[in-house]
């Protein structure tokens, strides 16, 4: 599924950029050699980053609880 239609960035590319350390939507796009055009993708990319952070925090708390 495309997240950024202007640049042709797909969901899995967003996820790989986040896994590589991208911390904001502009960094996600830059990871793949793009920059924001219309900006409609930025909230969705930000949501993906937030979900990834929440997942990592949950995993960390589970490990700490053991």
Q: What is the pLDDT of residue 62?
A: 78
Q: Would the pLDDT of 66 be above 70?
A: no
Q: Over the stretch 16-47, which tens digit does the pLDDT of each residue have?
A: 999 999 999 999 999 999 999 999 999 999 99
Angle at 10 between CA 32 and CA 36, to 5 degrees: 55
- Could you give the domains of the chain? 2-65 (1.10.10)
Q: What is the pTM of this model?
A: 0.86
Distance between CA atoms of residues 7 and 53, nearest Å = 24
CB 12 within 8 A of CB 21: no
Ramachandran angles phi, psi of 61, nearest 5°:
-70, -35
Q: Over the stretch 53-63, which tens digit does the pLDDT of each residue have?
A: 998 888 888 77
Extract the tokens encoding 37: 């055009």
């Amino acid at each position: 599924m495309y997240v950024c239609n202007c640049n042709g960035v797909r969901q899995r590319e967003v996820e790989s950029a986040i896994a590589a350390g991208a911390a904001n939507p502009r960094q996600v796009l830059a990871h793949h050699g793009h920059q924001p055009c219309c900006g409609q993708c930025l909230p969705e990319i930000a949501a993906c980053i937030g979900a990834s952070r929440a997942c990592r925090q949950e995993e960390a708390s589970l490990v700490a609880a053991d």
